[in-house]
């Protein structure tokens, strides 16, 4: 689907965490006054390609974005994604990414996913309601920050949920909290 519309709900949920408006409806984002640009790099099932991710990063660089939130992850170190992340960083763009949801059992795992695993990206793990790292969150020495990621209430497309709001969990929800703070 070449439409920009969110046919998965994930992107709208992330956008709401960053900047849902303070209008007495639903929820309020971390930075409700921030300007956001939603780039669709994943399909209706939440999967993307290297080329779709590269296109989003390239657009962000060309259009001089200040912050890029990457609420996506992969176990694969792709040299072309690394090169584009490096380029964005050299251009002065702050990159923040979800660490991944690879679960930890012993607390000693090193399972941070890419692109969060790159040195020039802020890797974010997710916290639950009790302020501890969610068991589903990837962990490791690359983690720089942790933010709320368990059962987060935010916006979703009304085409997917007539209320326009739903709860989701994961590092994809934690990363936009950090992006919103950075925007402030």
Q: Rounded to whole angstroms, how far apart are CA atoms 27 and 111?
A: 32
Asked whether the bond before 35 is cis by omega within 30 degrees of 0, the reply is no
Look up residue 151 and give its two tokens: 């059962």
Q: Which stretches within the chain are classed as H helix?
A: 10-19, 50-62, 79-90, 171-183
- Which has more confidence, 26 or 3? 26
Mean pLDDT value across residues 52-61: 97
- 53 confidence band (pLDDT: 50, 70, 90): very high
pTM of the model: 0.95
Tokens 């983690």, residue located: 143
> Helix-strand-coil percent breakdown of the chain, rounded to 5?
25, 20, 55
Please give the mean pLDDT across all residues of the chain: 95
Phi-psi region of 41 (alpha: psi -120 to 50; beta: other; left: phi over 0): alpha
Alpha carbon 119 to chain centroid distance?
A: 17
């Amino acid at each position: 689907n070449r439409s920009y519309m969110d046919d998965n709900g994930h992107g709208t949920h992330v956008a709401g965490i960053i900047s849902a408006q303070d209008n007495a409806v639903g929820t309020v984002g971390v930075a409700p006054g921030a300007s956001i640009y939603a780039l669709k790099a994943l399909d209706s099932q939440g999967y993307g390609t290297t080329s779709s991710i590269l296109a989003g990063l390239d657009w962000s660089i060309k259009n001089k974005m200040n912050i890029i939130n990457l609420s996506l992850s992969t176990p694969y170190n792709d040299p072309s994604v690394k090169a584009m992340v490096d380029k964005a960083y050299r251009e002065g763009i702050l990159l923040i990414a979800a660490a991944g949801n690879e679960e930890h059992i012993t607390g000693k795992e090193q399972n941070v996913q890419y692109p969060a695993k790159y040195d020039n990206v802020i890797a974010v793990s997710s916290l639950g309601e009790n302020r501890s790292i969610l068991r589903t969150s990837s962990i490791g020495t690359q983690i720089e920050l942790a933010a709320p990621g368990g059962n987060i209430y935010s916006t979703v497309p009304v085409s997917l949920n007539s209320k326009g709001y739903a709860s989701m969990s994961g590092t994809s929800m934690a990363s936009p909290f950090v992006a919103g703070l950075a925007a402030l």
